[in-house]
Structure 1
């Protein structure tokens, strides 16, 4: 199926997402959409060592840490930047073990090199927003205080970047705003920049790109609408600030980001229905005097650079320049 063909009118977003809505409001996830890869702390020639750590058992919040081989090989005592990564999945599916995110994080650790820490957060509708933001924030507080040897020994906590793909990009924005107002509480963890990779954002009134790509088979409107229905707090619409960052009054928090001199990068593709909103978000952040770079490319589609090896390479070059600059 080409990426601009129309969907059949009878298209079922539940079927597309491989989920079933239960009478009690929870969902059953038929896991084949984002199947998993185990962590392995045994580095072979082809794998980056990784390990899973639970940080809050009652909420099932945890992290998967990826250690670049450079950290193990070298006699160098230079610590590496820390990338805290939040996976995608529209807040309702996905996890740190999903192969697509596991491989993406492994590749980042290898390419940069950097210590990459992928956060396992609670999913909606069982845990609606702001649960994911709360868990994402809890992970930052855990990082600052932990004695975990991979972080203590190899990660430079004063050079931390928050990165997320799709829903994870949305998390980075909202957690970035929170973290900017908690600089002292997070010390010695110091955030240097935010990476919003194809951030998942929306609003009630459709933009031109949402109308143009309404029925694109990769991320049709009915699928993103369902994701928002299941993840936003009960009783609000898509013009809630969790979904539509241009409506909330975040000027104080954005001022903090400007004062801290954090850098922001937002990436997207012309074939992603959210491209117009992502461009608007760049303008809004820029107007607050925050240093923001954007990389919007032609064609492509939502999620292309975590599944297409060539596009992933291109993205990594952009991100590497951003992190190391």
Structure 2
């Protein structure tokens, strides 16, 4: 029986469709590509590693062309609403090549399990496992070239949401080997605190959350998706020393991201908190069009954050 003849159980138009037999079709995301020994544009080399064979967690590691024994380490979490996209996609491969090259960082881009086959909180758990795997330096590139005293985490969209939840967890639960997170960047973050918004993209974000985490305690008021909500833990507890919040002027969740920045700043958080907003741009524009003037400015800002 072909897919057209099967009965649909759930569909998020333009994103994903689930059939009654629990098979899944994804309609969004760039094609997956292999790693490269030396990217022709940036000179960055990449390879894939297995983090947990049992849990099917893996990652793509990026090593800059100019190699030292002291590269800052960035553990990166891709976006895609927890249910589409991949660390191995064409868009993210190009993004990580540029960032590794310009910032001189060793990047570990995590391939975590996706909903609905693996509903949240599985992605959060996978990413915490991956972050602790990095602290073990259980890879020759990490051992020879990485500096755990300069450990960063970062992500875009749902990946930025993952960053928030990992940083909050790191504030109450130590990473393996006593490693501390130096900094975290939150780019075009997937947060929800505007249930009355009439914007279609914001309404869709609420539907997606219910789809990827149907058993979330508090639903869309869960502190995992609404860190500014009543009863959410204080953002002073973020387990890092500095924060960068990246916002695009035209994206639907801009107001939530600005409120997050202000909430961190006003929480008593002991580190530094910075905001970078790009005018005239929409959600994750730099991933889809990395060669534009505004994308280059954003890469420069990320580079500065990761280097200093």
- TM-score by length of structure 2 reads 0.88
Alignment correspondent of 1:3: none
Distance in structure 1 (CA, Å) of the matches to 2:251 and 2:11? 17
**1:178-236 deviation line (CA, Å, top 9, x unaligned):** 122233x4335331011001111113623xxx43xx24xxxx24532332121123265
C-alpha spacing 1:320/1:243, structure 2 compared with 1 (3 Å): same
Runs of 4+ in 1 over 6 A off after TM superposition: none
Instruction: Indicate yes or no: 2:20 matched with 1:14.
Output: no
Please state which structure has a larger fraction of its residues in strand.
2
By how many angstroms is 1:317 displaced? Answer: 1.1
Q: CA RMSD in A?
A: 2.2
By how many angstroms is 1:146 displaced? Answer: 3.5
Please tell me whether the aligned partners of residues 84 and 161 of structure 1 are also in contact (alpha carbons under 8 angstroms): yes
**1:112-152 deviation line (CA, Å, top 9, x unaligned):** 11101101111112222211111111011111113310000
Please tell me whether the aligned partners of residues 42 and 101 of structure 2 are also in contact (alpha carbons under 8 angstroms): no
Secondary structure, aligned partner of 2:224: coil
Instruction: Indicate yes or no: 2:139 matched with 1:148.
Output: yes
Return 5+ residue gaps in structure 1 as ranges. Answer: 1-11, 72-76
Secondary structure, aligned partner of 1:158: strand
Instruction: Indicate yes or no: 2:97 matched with 1:97.
Output: no
By how many angstroms is 1:162 displaced? Answer: 0.5
Alignment correspondent of 2:4: none
Secondary structure, aligned partner of 2:166: helix
By how many angstroms is 1:293 displaced? Answer: 0.5
1:203-222 map, 5 Å = 203=193, 205-206=195-196, 210-211=197-198, 214-215=199-200, 220-222=201-203
Match of 1:303 among 275, 278, 284: 284
Secondary structure, aligned partner of 1:187: helix
Distance in structure 2 (CA, Å) of the matches to 1:142 and 1:300? 35
- TM-score by length of structure 1 reads 0.83
Match of 1:179 among 164, 170, 173: 170
Report how many aligned residue pairs link the two structures.
293
Alignment correspondent of 1:288: 267
Please state which structure has a larger fraction of its residues in helix.
1
Please tell me whether the aligned partners of residues 26 and 125 of structure 1 are also in contact (alpha carbons under 8 angstroms): no
By how many angstroms is 1:43 displaced? Answer: 5.4
Return 5+ residue gaps in structure 2 as ranges. Answer: 1-9
